[in-house]
Structure formats: C-alpha cells, structure tokens
Structure 1
Amino acid sequence: MKIERPIIALDFPDRLSVQQFLTKFPADEQLFLKVGMELFYSEGQDIVRELIAGGHDVFLDLKCHDIPHTVEQAMKVIGQLGVKLTTIHASGGSQMMQAAKAGLLAGSNGDQTAGILAITQLTSTNQTMLEEEQLVHQPLKNSVLHYAQLAQAAGLAGVVCSAWEAADIAAATNADFLRITPGIRLAGDQTNDQKRVMTPDRAAEQKSSGLVVGRSITQAVDPFAAYQTVTKLWRQD
C-alpha cells in the first residue's frame, strides 16, 4: 500500500500561518496535511475540523504515550474528529497500543477509516543517543524492527519510521502494514535537527509507504512547485 500524495507537515504556530500557506496552492488541490503538537496545542480541534471541511485529509500527530486507560480515552476523542491517521509511541507497550485501537474504534463508532501509527524511534535519534540516553544496547535497526512487529501484533495500521528502516520493516511485516517516513528532504536542503534523512525518490526505492515532508515544502520560495517536485520524485513518473 502506498499513499500517493506527500503528507505536508504543517509546522506552523497558528491558524493564520496555515491559511496563508494554503493560499499558495490551487484552491481545488486536495492535500494530505499533518497537524502536529505545536499547531494543535495552539488551535485545538477547530483547526482539524477546518482542514477536513476544506476537503483535505488530516494526519493528527500527537504521539500519545501514557497508561493504557488514558490513551484509550484520548483516542475516543480523536476518533470523533474524522482524521485519517494519528500516532502513539510504540514504547508505551502492547497493552497501550491495543487500548489505543479500541478507543479510536469506539470514538468513530466502528469506522475503520482512520489508522494508528506507532512511533518507533524518532528520526532525531541516532545510535549514540540510543545507547547513552535510552540505555538500549541494541543496533538502532533492531529496536525499530521490534517496535514495528509489536505494533503489527497489536493491530495498528503501521509505524512512523526513518526511510532508512522502511525496507527492513516491509520484509518483517505484512504487505499492508504502513511505513510512514518523516525526515524527507530534497537534495541540497538542510537536514536541521533530523539525523536520518532521505530524498523522496530514494525513500520510494526503500519501500516507504508514505512521506511526511515539512520544511522542504513549507519553507520553499514556491511551496506548490516544491510539492510537485516531491510528488514526482516520490511517484517516480
């Protein structure tokens, strides 16, 4: 399964910034937009509803991580919003992941359109951080694969991972298990605070299911042109 449109990370502080950004796209362009913590904590549920009402799909990236009951209740609320994707941390464990799925289904009255993605390891994490700060003395790839397999066993739709691990996850999980990859950059763009980055065409080769692209589009001189470039490279057409 492959999501044909790049998912644009709306890393903006408020609604006005988002509205100004979206004016740079054709009015009838149906986008897949990621609402993360910064924007959601600023504007709340209203921004999600507004984007969906505008004909866009929404990936609500709040990375829930708590005891199973708390995450289940949070997912009930998210399930009512009509988003396409949302996230939790795989490190919360199997019970929490199962509770998240139950909550999302309850909130959406059994509608299985929305999917939960488990965060494996952030693209800002490298092997040194894994060993010295998380005290995990395993190769980073092993940690990511383990979390992906736990997420699949818990019935989640897929994982958020680096494109560098996407092919290995594809080999270790079912064909329909999503591998959504942030840290996507056009050639020559700065990597900023992300350490494991990749270009769209290379991510396609590495079996990513979908791309999350932020600054390469949002900070481009012509965001729509950048979006079209990313899309062409991703689809390899």
Structure 2
Amino acid sequence: MMRPIIIALDFKNQQICFDFLNRFTHPEDLFVKVGMELFYFEGPSIITKLRKMGVKVFLDLKLYDIPHTVEKAMEQLGRLDVQMTTIHAAGGSEMIQAAKRGLVAGSKAINGTPAKLLAVTQLTSTSEAQMQSEQLVSVSLKKSVTHLAKLAAANGADGTISSALETPLIHEAAGNQFLCINPGIRLKNNSTDDQKRITTPAQARELGSNGIVVGRAITQAEDPQAAYQIIKQEWEG
C-alpha cells in the first residue's frame, strides 16, 4: 500500500506554488495537497497543471452540505483526476454516500480512477475541551473520532483525515485497509503553530499511519528538498 508524504501547498497563487515545486530535482515524483486558499484563487486550472507535470494531487476542500449539492460538486471534482479528496464525516451517512457516487460518476466521465474519499473526523486544531464546549459533543474526543470513522467506513469512504494519535483507534474500529491520512506532522524542533494534536513522522509511522501531510516543515524550510528528505528518512524508518 502506498504510504505517501503529501506536501501541503498552502500558497496564495500558482506562481509561488510552481516556484516552490521547481526547487525539487524531480517535482513530478511528488504528492501534494491543494487546499482552499490556492484552489479558490486559481480554480481547477491549478489541478490540471499539476497533473500535467505528473504530480499526484490531494484536493482538500472538506465538502459539507446537503447530499445533492455534495454529489454534484464531487462529480465535478472527479473530472479533475485527483488522487484524494475530502468531506466532513459529520455530514452524515447520506452525504457520504452521495459524495462517493459523485466521485465515481466524475471519474467515469474521463475514464479515470476515482479519488480516494477521505472523511474529516475532528480537525487537528480542535482540542477535546473545545469540541465539548463549542460543538456540544458530550463524549470524549477519541469516541467522537472513532464513531465518525466507523460512520464514514460504513458509507463508502476510503479513509479518514485525522491526527495520527487516533490512527490505532480508527484502524481497530474500521479495519487496517481503511486509510488514515494524518496532518499535524512536525519535526521535533518545529513550532506547533495552530495545531494541537501533532506527531513527528516517526511517531506517525509507529502509530500505523497510511500517509502524512506536511506543510510548513517543508514549505518554509531554507532548503525544501533537504527538509523533505529528512522527513522521508524519518517516515520510512
């Protein structure tokens, strides 16, 4: 099973994005995440350009709406030939099923392979106290994450986006074939920034992560390719 390091391209425009990618000797070998900031400014064309380079793309828009709206949106995203994309598991069973239908329909239209559908459980910036006081979720954070992961798995999602700290719980609840892709990855000397539930690449590997999303530790490094190699060595053990 592929266990990628996914670089979060949290840049404001494509010029900065491609200037960054061109600092790598073989950018075509990379797996990257395009999030809201870059996609909402550049639109689908940024995905087309990345795919023409050979770059694998995780399109992270975290859709959360009524099932029909999500299905039709996912059908459009399925036409972009991305490898992963996201919804919020809290949208419920019907929305998750609709998202999967849309992805499959969109990929069929281009004779492609459907993207892996990943469900967000609880954001890695959310603490248990915050979840309970602001979302009025009375159970523990672990129980909430486990419940949402099982809901996602039962309704066609291929995996979750969650903290690596919850990976063992998710695999126990939904099986080892259910992907756990983990943001909130930092090297030991990195700032935690706005993340609360973080791990190092080595810790994520030991916890059973199926892929890690790394942003600032690479994108803000003086030598991004060297930083990537350090993370790769730690990730691969």
TM-score normalized with structure 2 length: 0.97
Alpha-carbon offset, residue 112 of structure 1 = 4.1
- Unmatched runs of 5 consecutive residues or more in structure 2: none
Counterpart-to-counterpart distance in 1, 2:77 and 2:65: 15
Secondary structure of the corresponding residue to residue 21 of structure 1: helix
Counterpart-to-counterpart distance in 2, 1:157 and 1:228: 28
The structure-2 alpha-carbon separation of the partners of 1:58 and 1:108, relative to structure 1 and needing over 3 Å to count, comes to same
Counterpart-to-counterpart distance in 2, 1:79 and 1:7: 19
- Where do residues 39-54 of structure 1 align in structure 2 (5 Å cutoff)? 39-54=38-53
- Where do residues 123-162 of structure 1 align in structure 2 (5 Å cutoff)? 123-162=124-163
Residue in 1 that maps onto 2:95 = 96
- Unmatched runs of 5 consecutive residues or more in structure 1: none
Residue in 1 that maps onto 2:207 = 206
Q: What amino acid maps onto 2:13 in structure 1?
A: D
The structure-2 alpha-carbon separation of the partners of 1:87 and 1:123, relative to structure 1 and needing over 3 Å to count, comes to same
Counterpart-to-counterpart distance in 2, 1:22 and 1:28: 6
- Where do residues 26-175 of structure 1 align in structure 2 (5 Å cutoff)? 26-27=25-26, 29-109=28-108, 111-175=112-176
Percent identity over the alignment is: 53
Residue in 2 that maps onto 1:193 = 194
Q: What amino acid maps onto 2:48 in structure 1?
A: R
The question of whether the paired residues in 2 share the 8 Å contact of 1:105 and 1:111 is answered with: no
The question of whether the paired residues in 1 share the 8 Å contact of 2:78 and 2:114 is answered with: no
Q: What amino acid maps onto 2:93 in structure 1?
A: S
Alpha-carbon offset, residue 114 of structure 1 = 1.3
Secondary structure of the corresponding residue to residue 58 of structure 1: strand
Secondary structure of the corresponding residue to residue 12 of structure 1: coil
Residue in 2 that maps onto 1:7 = 6
The count of residues paired between Structure 1 and Structure 2 equals 235
The question of whether the paired residues in 2 share the 8 Å contact of 1:123 and 1:194 is answered with: yes
| CA displacement, residues 190-222 of structure 1 (integer Å, 9 cap, x when unaligned) | 000000110000100011110000000000111
The alignment yields a C-alpha RMSD, in angstroms, of 1.1
Counterpart-to-counterpart distance in 2, 1:224 and 1:167: 30
The question of whether the paired residues in 1 share the 8 Å contact of 2:21 and 2:27 is answered with: no
Q: What amino acid maps onto 1:208 in structure 2?
A: S
Q: What amino acid maps onto 1:60 in structure 2?
A: L
Q: What amino acid maps onto 1:69 in structure 2?
A: H
